């Protein structure tokens, strides 16, 4: 039987690292992608040491996913492998009033949260459709289920793009009766390094990266399209659909201001 591979971006920490640990224990060989090579190498060593599968293989690719050239390069390096799972996990946020936040950081956020996810989804999806199998999981956010997010406006918009694109592709795949799966993971707060990069602190407790990744994989393999691994966020998503749009946006804005103790 041909070896099955899972490619995970943003694999050096947080949810991405837990995806790697769980999939390595589930007979998948791994391609781990991130900027921080030392962390990738440490994770590779851990996974190889713990693996019970003598055929297990783990490859690390140090890559900054800003820019189409890097994305094309990543695809060219991996396209000949039997990739069965793509997890677009790379992403980050920023916090603050839009007039004050750093423009270059926002352009980088758009490159990673939107463009990298879009390009990799497009390239690997074409391969998956040809063989009529494969899984794509785009790590979005509960932010992507809300109409807008004052004080994290760019981040919310980027995750709305991710969630909307995923659902649109899923509908196309259903129409063609494809066996290929695509879904969006939409967690709320998760205890990762996200806050350090986003310059904020969650005002409500987060779930563990391990729980988030485990829940996501279970739902992915059961082919659930929108995955929300938190009861609080499931309720919030349902309320967000029926409550007045302006009210939901105001609540999101107050929630973001609480992150810096402003409310």
Note if 75 is an active site residue. Answer: no
What does the DSSP 8-state code read for residue 190?
B
**Active-site pick, 155, 156, 161, 181:** 155
CA angle 256, 17, 108 (to 5 degrees): 50
Confirm if 259 and 143 have CB atoms less than 8 A apart: no
Confirm if 220 and 6 have CB atoms less than 8 A apart: no
**3-state class (DSSP) for residue 188:** coil
Q: What is the DSSP string of 97-122?
A: -TTTS-HHHHHHHIIIIIIIHHHHHH
> How would you classify the pairing of strands 29-34 and 181-185?
unpaired
Question: Would you tell me how many other CB atoms lie within 10 Å of the CB of residue 55?
Answer: 9
Q: Cα dist. 4→29, 95, 113, 126 in Å?
A: 6, 39, 26, 17
Confirm if 189 and 206 have CB atoms less than 8 A apart: yes
Tokens of 96: 């603050």
Catalytic sites, residue numbers: 155
């Amino acid at each position: 039987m041909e070896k099955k591979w899972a490619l995970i971006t943003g694999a050096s920490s947080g949810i991405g690292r837990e995806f790697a640990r769980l999939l390595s224990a589930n007979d998948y060989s791994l391609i781990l992608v991130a900027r921080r090579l030392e962390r990738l190498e440490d994770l590779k060593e851990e996974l190889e040491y713990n693996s019970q599968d003598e055929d297990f293989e783990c490859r690390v690719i140090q890559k900054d996913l800003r820019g189409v050239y890097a994305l094309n390069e990543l695809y060219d390096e991996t396209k000949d492998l039997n990739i069965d799972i793509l997890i677009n996990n790379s992403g980050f946020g920023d916090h603050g009033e839009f007039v004050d936040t750093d423009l270059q950081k926002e352009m980088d956020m758009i490159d990673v949260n939107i463009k990298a996810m879009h390009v990799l989804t497009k390239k690997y999806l074409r391969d998956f459709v040809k063989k009529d199998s494969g899984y794509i999981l785009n790590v979005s956010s509960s932010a992507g289920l809300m109409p807008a997010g004052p004080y994290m406006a760019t981040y919310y918009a980027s995750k709305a793009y991710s969630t909307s694109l995923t659902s649109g592709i899923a509908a196309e795949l259903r129409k063609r009766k494809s066996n290929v799966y695509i879904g969006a993971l939409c967690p709320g707060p998760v205890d990762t390094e996200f806050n350090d990069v986003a310059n904020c602190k969650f005002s409500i407790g987060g779930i563990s990266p391990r729980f988030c990744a485990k829940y996501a994989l279970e739902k992915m393999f059961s082919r659930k399209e929108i995955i929300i691994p938190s009861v609080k966020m499931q309720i919030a998503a349902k309320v967000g659909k029926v409550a007045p749009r302006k009210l939901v946006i105001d609540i999101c804005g107050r929630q973001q201001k609480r992150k810096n103790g402003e409310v």
